[in-house]
Amino acid sequence: MAATENEPTGPDFAQGIALSQLTDGSSLVGHADGEPVLLVRRGDELFAVGATCTHYGGPLGEGIIDGETVRCPWHHACFSLRTGEALHAPALRPVPRWRVERRGDRVHVTGRHEGVSARAGTNAGRVLSDVAEPESVVIVGAGAAGDAAADMLRREGYTGPVTLVGADPSPPYDRPNLSKDYLAGTAPEEWIPLRDRGYYEEIGVTIVPGARVNAIDTSARRVALSGGETHTFDRLLLATGSDPVRLPLPGGELPHVFYLRSLADSRSIIERLGPARRAVVIGASFIGLEVAASLRTRGLEVHVVAPEERPMERVFGRELARFIQALHESHGVVFHLQQTAASIAPDAVTLQSGEVLPADLVVIGVGVRPNVSLAQEAGIVVDGGVVVDEYLETSVPGIFAAGDIARWPDPHSGAPIRIEHWVVAQRQGQVAARNILGRREPFTTVPFFWSQHYDVPITYVGHAADWDRIDVAGSIDERDCLLAYRHGDQTLAVAGIHRDRDSLLSELALERHDQEALLSLIPRAEAAQSS
């Protein structure tokens, strides 16, 4: 999804509008000083904030207002209307705040507040429990969760030393983009870093890129780095993410065979594109299919090999899987389903069936495995992920875990879950940071992810490992639909295409356990899909 430069539309708020144009709880997009502004009325109070999401430029006027917050329709970031702060990832920067004045029965936006700070945390300097703030914090893994945690520690007013150690030589970057616009050649390099150059220095976080933590001494409260360096910590956050599952195929180590996890991986694939005409993608995972779409955008011939009957049926069910397959086929992708690769040669992939697919480039996307060995070797309890409590604290007090590795007690399903989503990792990093400071805030977020295939974005809120029916509102083929994944009378998750507002409403309903609202968004059909 591309960032947008929003042309100011709607009324000029500097000229003022009639108060009667804004009913309680309603919002209006206009502009002031040439910038898009969202004006919101809550009771007698009026708020004005920037109307463009600081993540990828989503139109906040098309989102929803919930209390004193606005949620972005594209990837569900949430901003405070009062302070402009980015309360929930994936947005990391605040939106600007504007001054609003009531003059008689008119409302005017009179200028921008200066000094809105990304660190204007709502709890800044406030200690909400009797747990003392730590003397120092070390974060292992500078990805989605690690970056979000380091930032949140400072936003919450923590002034002690924070060290962010990351095995990746690049500072934190927008990993989801690596298989999408960046790989497709439609996102410039400057979109990829999560932060401006110098940001960590500015907020006083010591970042140690290209360094792997090899061991944790939980008694001495010390981590040992690959270069021999050690760092002591008072509290520790583990955010080591996942690595791609490697296929032990003959030829799997050839130079034209790639996995995609890091920026370096994505760059290597792009470098290889020069003379390549034919690509084989092994695995119809999210990453596999996004790679297929990006390589088609680059004009390569793309074949996808996968063992399942339909791509992503296990996540989305039969009908959406059928649509996704047809969508890719309409863009020229050739599927080889219910097939696996047997071997790779420098110019071809041979399938178990004996079929030979010519290939100048092979990308393997068959899933990921969480990096839990560091925790395990340190004696931290690992069971299908690093086990954490509702505050994201592991079995060792003072050591927290977040992101792909964390298995947490999900209050919505009532079961422990581990999830590999960008937004979940960032929000866990943010909540872990607050709990490192003793805030005792349970992690109750409803999981959210998005996936992009050509011009079709798919959003998904909730978590449905299993379901006994799928109800559809709208039309999947018309790319205008909501799908409810249900177990008995419970809606566990909702997927959507081009139903951004309804996806946000579903998220709110799932947060509030409001099954009736979910039923009215997606009524039970007489004949539902069963799988």
User: How far, in Å, CA of 136 to CA of 134, rounded?
Assistant: 5
Nearest approach, Cβ of 24 to ligand FAD (angstroms)?
35
- What b-and-e string marks burial along 372-389, b requiring 16 or more CB atoms within 10 Å of the CB? bebbeebebebeebbbbe
Q: Indicate which of ligand FAD, ligand FES, none lies near residue 449 (CB less than 5 to 8 Å, by partner kind).
A: ligand FAD
241 binds ligand FAD (CB under 6 A): yes
SS3 state at 515: helix
Check: CB of residue 426 under 8 Å from CB of residue 89. yes
- Touching ligand FES, residues 14-73 (CB under 6 A): 53, 55-58, 72
Question: Nearer Cβ to ligand FAD, position 41 or 261?
Answer: 261
Q: Indicate which of ligand FES, ligand FAD, none lies near residue 29 (CB less than 5 to 8 Å, by partner kind).
A: none
State how far the alpha carbon of 379 is from the alpha carbons of 167, 375, 399, in Å: 21, 7, 12
Of the chain, the end-to-end C-alpha distance in Å amounts to 29
Q: Indicate which of ligand FES, ligand FAD, none lies near residue 213 (CB less than 5 to 8 Å, by partner kind).
A: ligand FAD
User: How far, in Å, CA of 52 to CA of 374, rounded?
Assistant: 40
288 binds ligand FAD (CB under 6 A): no
Nearest approach, Cβ of 461 to ligand FES (angstroms)?
13
328 binds ligand FES (CB under 6 A): no
Nearest approach, Cβ of 293 to ligand FAD (angstroms)?
12
Choosing from 51, 77, 257, 464, the residue that interacts with ligand FES (CB under 6 A) is 77
Q: How many residues bind ligand FAD (CB under 6 A)?
A: 36
Nearest approach, Cβ of 77 to ligand FES (angstroms)?
4
The total of other beta-carbon atoms located within 10 Å of residue 513's CB is 11
Nearest approach, Cβ of 370 to ligand FES (angstroms)?
25
Find the part of the chain contacting ligand FAD (CB under 6 A) among 49-57, 113-121, 268-276, 449-457: 449-457
Question: Nearer Cβ to ligand FES, position 56 or 200?
Answer: 56
Cα–chain center distance at 381: 26
Choosing from 76, 155, 175, 256, the residue that interacts with ligand FAD (CB under 6 A) is 175
The binding track of 139-168 with respect to ligand FAD, each residue x by CB under 6 A or -, is -xxxxxxx------------------xxxx
Question: Nearer Cβ to ligand FAD, position 315 or 476?
Answer: 315
463 binds ligand FES (CB under 6 A): no
State how far the alpha carbon of 93 is from the alpha carbons of 18, 88, 213, 372, in Å: 31, 10, 29, 30
93 binds ligand FES (CB under 6 A): no
State how far the alpha carbon of 191 is from the alpha carbons of 30, 194, 208, 298, 397, in Å: 27, 8, 22, 19, 38
User: How far, in Å, CA of 372 to CA of 426, rounded?
Assistant: 18
User: How far, in Å, CA of 324 to CA of 454, rounded?
Assistant: 11
Q: Which amino acid is at 14?
A: A
State how far the alpha carbon of 465 is from the alpha carbons of 106, 314, 443, 483, in Å: 52, 8, 19, 15
Nearest approach, Cβ of 54 to ligand FES (angstroms)?
8
Q: Which amino acid is at 106?
A: R
- Touching ligand FAD, residues 379-418 (CB under 6 A): 403-404
State how far the alpha carbon of 340 is from the alpha carbons of 126, 199, 285, 334, in Å: 55, 45, 14, 14
Choosing from 112, 212, 479, 487, the residue that interacts with ligand FAD (CB under 6 A) is 212
SS3 state at 530: coil
User: How far, in Å, CA of 124 to CA of 241, rounded?
Assistant: 28
Nearest approach, Cβ of 438 to ligand FAD (angstroms)?
22
Question: Nearer Cβ to ligand FES, position 58 or 317?
Answer: 58
308 binds ligand FAD (CB under 6 A): no
Nearest approach, Cβ of 366 to ligand FES (angstroms)?
28
Check: CB of residue 451 under 8 Å from CB of residue 140. no
* Binding-site ranges for ligand FES (CB under 6 A): 53, 55-58, 72, 74-75, 77, 90-91
* Binding-site ranges for ligand FAD (CB under 6 A): 140-146, 165-168, 175-176, 178-179, 212-213, 239-242, 260-261, 287, 371, 374, 403-404, 420-423, 425, 449-451
